[in-house]
Amino acid sequence: MELLDDDKTIDMAELFKIFGDSTRIKIINVLLDNELCVCEITNKINVSQSAVSHQLRILKTAKLVKYYKKGNCIYYSLADDHVKKIFMLGSEHTNE
């Protein structure tokens, strides 16, 4: 493979940086197979509501999750299959 240009290099680093935090990994983990509202996410992982919300914003900004409103709640899910793939590959590597 050829040498990536600087922009692409930075974009890749930014992408991995998002996966490089325990709270965000936990959030992605619980969203792998379901959509969940913030409240449910907060209950499933051991992190404060505020921290979850802050991290969801980062995931949202990076377009790694999507969401919709339903009444009082906001349901989040993974943006596309790529997110799951990256997660699973990381998971595999970590098992060794």
Partner DNA sequence: TTTATATATGAACAGATATTCATATAGATA
Partner DNA sequence: TATCTATATGAATATCTGTTCATATATAAA
Footprint on this chain of DNA (rule: CB under 7 A): 17, 20-24, 37-40, 42, 47-51, 53-58, 67, 69, 71-75
Binding of residue 8 to its own copies (CB under 8 A): yes
For residue 17, give both structure tokens: 């940086």
Give the single-character DSSP code of 79.
S
Three-state helix/strand/coil letters over 18-77: HHCCHHHHHHHHHHCCCCEEHHHHHHHCCCCHHHHHHHHHHHHHCCCEEEEEECCEEEEE
Which of DNA, its own copies, none is residue 68 near (CB under 5 to 8 Å by kind)? none
Judged by CB under 8 A, the residue of 35, 38, 44, 47 near its own copies is 44
Residues that bind its own copies (CB under 8 A): 1, 3-4, 6, 8-22, 24-26, 29-30, 32-33, 44, 82, 85-94, 96
